[in-house]
Structure 1
Amino acid sequence: MAEHIRIGDVAPRVHYAADGAQTVFIFPFPIFKPADIEIRIDGLLFAGGFAVQGAGASEGGSVIFAQPPQAGALVALRRRMVIARTTDFQPNGMLRANTLNDDLDRQVAAMQEFRDETGSMLRANPGEAPTGLMLPDRPARANRVLGFDSLGNVTAFAREEGTLRVPFTGAIPRTIADKMGEVLSARDFGAVGDGVTDDGPALQAAMNAAAAAAKHLVIGEGSYRTAMPLLLPGAASGLTMRGVIVYAGPDGRTALTLGDGYAVRNANKLYDGLRVKRAMLSSWLNEADIGIELRNLDASTVEIRQAEGFTIGIRTTGVERGFEDSTLHLGRIVDNRFGLDVRTATAAAWNNSIRYIGGHFACSSATHPTMDRFGVRFSAAPGAYPRHNAHLFMGPGFELQRQGTPATVAAIPFLLEAGDERGIVARGMRMEQCSTFVAAHNGGANDCVYEVAYTGTYAFTGNAILYGPNATRAGGTVVPLHQAAAAHGTPRLVAAAENVRARAFRQTIDTAGGVGFEQMAVLSGNPAGPPGNLSGFAFAGLTQFGLNADSVGLPTSRALSFVVDCGECKEFFIAAEGSELRPVVMQFDANEAVLDSMSPVLLSNMNTVWAGTPSFFWEGNADLDSLVGGLAINKLQRVTLHANARFAAIGVRGGSATAVLKALRLFCPPLYAPTLLYGGSRKWGVREYTTSDAGWVVPALAAGASTSRDVAMPGIRQGDFVQASFAKTAGFQNGGVVFHAAVGGSAGSDQVRVTAQNHSGGSITVDAGTLFVRATKPRI
Structure 2
Amino acid sequence: MAEHIRIGDITPRVHYAADGALTVFAYPFPIFEPEELEVRIDGLPQSGGYAVRGAGASEGGTVVFDAPPGAGRHVLLRRVLPIRRVTDFQPNGVLRAKALNDELDRQTAILQGLRDEIASTVRAGPGDLPARLVLPDRGGRANRLLGFDSLGNVTAVPRAPVLEVPFGGAIPRSVEDKLAERLTARDFGAMGDGISDDGPALQAAMNAAAAAGKLLEIGEGSHRTGMPLVLPGAAAGLIMHGSIVYAGFGGEAALTIGDGAASRNQARLYQGLRVLRASISDWANEADIGLLLRNLDACTVEIRQVEGFTIGVRTLGDELGFEDSTLHLGRLVNNRIGLDIRTNSAAGWNNSIRYIGGHFANSGSVHPAVSRFGVRFSCAPGAYPRHNAHAFHGPAFELQRQGTPGMVDAIPFLLEAGDERGIVARNIRMEQCSPYVARHAGGANDCLYEVAYVGTYAFTGAAIDYAASATRAGGTVVALHQAAAAHGSPRLVAAAENVRRRAFRQTIDTADGVGFEQMAVLSGNPAGPPATLGGFAFAGLSQMALNPDSVGLPTSRALAFVVDCGECKEFFLAAEGSELRPVVMQFDAAETVLGEASRVMFSNMNTLWAGSPSHFWEGNADLDSLVGGAPINRLQRVTLHSNARYAAIGVRGGSAGAVLKALRLYCSPLHAPALVYGGSRKWGVREYTGSAGFDLASLGPGAAATQLVAVPGIAGGDFVQASYTALSAFVELVPTITTSAAGELPGTVTVQFRNRHPSTAIDLAPGTLFVRAVKPLL
Q: TM-score, normalised by structure 2?
A: 0.46
Greater C-alpha radius of gyration = 1
Could you state the TM-score of these two structures normalised by the residue count of structure 1? 0.46
